[in-house]
Amino acid sequence: MTDSKSMTLAELTADITGLGEQPFRGRQIYQWMHARLAEGFADMTDISEKLRRACEARYQFTLLKPVKVQESAAKDTRKFLFALPDGLLIESVWMKYRHGNSVCISSQAGCRMGCAFCASAIGGLERSLTAGEMLEQVYAVSRHTGERVANVVVMGMGEPLDNYGNLLRFIRMLTDENGLHISQRNITVSTCGLVPEMIRLAAEGLQITLAVSLHATNDEQRRRLMPVARKYSLMELIDACRHYFAATGRRITFEYSLIQGTNDSKSDAEALAHLLKGLNCHVNLIPVNPVRERDFVESDERNVNEFKNKLEKYRINVTIRREMGRDIDGACGQLRQRHQEQMPGPREESL
Ligand code: SAH
């Protein structure tokens, strides 16, 4: 069965009119799903019972119920573990900020990029998510918190550019005026650096922010942390970033996780400044979040500050990422990993 939540307004309208209905019915149903966040066709009270029944018979309706919700002590972060219709588990995070709430979503169940410090990589890729499953994470979090979502970041489990078609569909639907109508400028997509897909993305005419996970300043160091670096050199990656900025006018964000004794020295900071010279960008420094299965240690506060100061000397925009939700397994894939260790099977616990 087709997932109705993954269909664009045009696709849904075409399909509904094929059933002999007026085109405006397609828009109505679309708005119920994507703006009013209905939990099923039965909620759509201004649609005839006959049409609702026809939709129920014709379409799958992706709905995510949390298997587990954890709230940080500061109450500014909530982490959700959702079970997909086939039982696979994914994570989403809700972050409350003064300037607007953010939802961080997953783009895949698992991941095949294999970054050494990341918990999502541990079991490899299970499958990519549909556009409906990405959208529904935003909707389910919004229903659960009862609050408006201002920003969406695709920085949860998975590599979004490894699920390119569904990612683009997701962005177009999330920004549709008949849905949540989130501004493109309030969407961030984070990639480990798939160069051909970055070039392709640059040509889509989008105003989203591209975040690039860098974590290293030379190829050898990067290859040890991120297998993707064996495929694309830093030179190629930085060239793709320059191209992305030239094509879109959007400043690149670089993610740099500081790992003690690995990539956090003064000479690393200098090499990073050199690498990013003349590039319109912003650097986010994140002390690496220790994952139990991996033996990486975060840089201490003094090192983090020195690293930041060094970059600033070279006039690079830099922030230390405020740590939210570390007490609730904040790092990518950690909650799922912990849950799977404890539970006999993914389907057996409910909230
Ligand atoms: N695949 C995408 C997006 C998912 S990960 C990417 O690689 O960008 C989101 C960010 O969290 C990435 O920058 C990733 O490198 C980082 N990350 C993963 N595990 C981490 C950990 N244990 N500590 C700190 N950052 C981590």
Give domain status of residue 348, yes or no: no
Residues 182-200 have pLDDT tens digits of 999 999 999 999 999 999 9
Per-residue model confidence (pLDDT) at position 14:
98
For residues 202 and 286, give the distance between their C-alpha atoms in angstroms, rounded to a whole number.
26
For residues 128 and 169, give the distance between their C-alpha atoms in angstroms, rounded to a whole number.
13
Considering its fold, how many domains does the chain have in total?
2
Indicate which residue's Cα is closest to atom 21 of ligand 1.
Answer: 289
Give domain status of residue 346, yes or no: no
Determine the average pLDDT of the residues in 99-127. Answer: 94
For residues 62 and 5, give the distance between their C-alpha atoms in angstroms, rounded to a whole number.
6
Whether residue 53 is found in the same domain as residue 90 = no
| Residue that has been written with the tokens 């830093």 in this structure | 234
Q: How far is the CA of 44 from the centre of ligand 1 (A)?
A: 39
Determine the average pLDDT of the residues in 226-250. Answer: 98
Whether residue 30 is found in the same domain as residue 94 = no
Whether residue 325 is found in the same domain as residue 191 = yes
Report which of 78, 69, 137, 67 is spatially closest to residue 346, judged by C-alpha positions. Answer: 67
pLDDT > 70? residue 330: no
Q: What is the DSSP code (8-state) at residue 161?
A: G
Whether residue 91 is found in the same domain as residue 231 = yes
Give domain status of residue 13, yes or no: yes
Q: 289: domain range? A: 66-339
Give domain status of residue 349, yes or no: no
**What residues act catalytically?**
91, 332
Whether residue 209 is found in the same domain as residue 302 = yes
Indicate which residue's Cα is closest to atom 24 of ligand 1.
Answer: 288
pLDDT > 50? residue 162: yes
Residue 321 confidence class, pLDDT cut points 50, 70, 90: confident
Per-residue model confidence (pLDDT) at position 329:
60
Q: Is 236 helix (H, G, I), strand (E, B) or coil?
A: helix
Check if 162 has its Cβ closer than 6 Å to any atom of ligand 1: no
The average confidence (pLDDT) of the chain is 92
Whether residue 93 is found in the same domain as residue 136 = yes
For residue 317, the domain's CATH number is 3.20.20.70
Whether residue 173 is found in the same domain as residue 131 = yes
Give domain status of residue 203, yes or no: yes
Check if 108 has its Cβ closer than 6 Å to any atom of ligand 1: no
For residue 45, the domain's CATH number is 1.10.150.530
Q: How far is the CA of 309 from the centre of ligand 1 (A)?
A: 23
Indicate which residue's Cα is closest to atom 13 of ligand 1.
Answer: 213
Whether residue 39 is found in the same domain as residue 151 = no
User: Hey, what amino acid is at 4?
Assistant: S
Of 60, 79, 110, the domain-final residue? 60
Q: How far is the CA of 158 from the centre of ligand 1 (A)?
A: 9
Give domain status of residue 350, yes or no: no
Whether residue 35 is found in the same domain as residue 94 = no
Give domain status of residue 293, yes or no: yes
Whether residue 24 is found in the same domain as residue 132 = no
- Angle formed by the axes of helices 9-18 and 23-34, nearest 10°: 130
Check if 291 has its Cβ closer than 6 Å to any atom of ligand 1: yes
Give domain status of residue 28, yes or no: yes
Report which of 102, 92, 103 is spatially closest to residue 69, judged by C-alpha positions. Answer: 92
Q: How far is the CA of 215 from the centre of ligand 1 (A)?
A: 9
| Ligand 1 atom closest to the CA of 190, numbered from 1 | 8
Element (H, E) at 160: none
Q: How far is the CA of 286 from the centre of ligand 1 (A)?
A: 10
Whether residue 108 is found in the same domain as residue 225 = yes
User: Hey, what amino acid is at 207?
Assistant: Q
Check if 190 has its Cβ closer than 6 Å to any atom of ligand 1: yes
Check if 252 has its Cβ closer than 6 Å to any atom of ligand 1: no
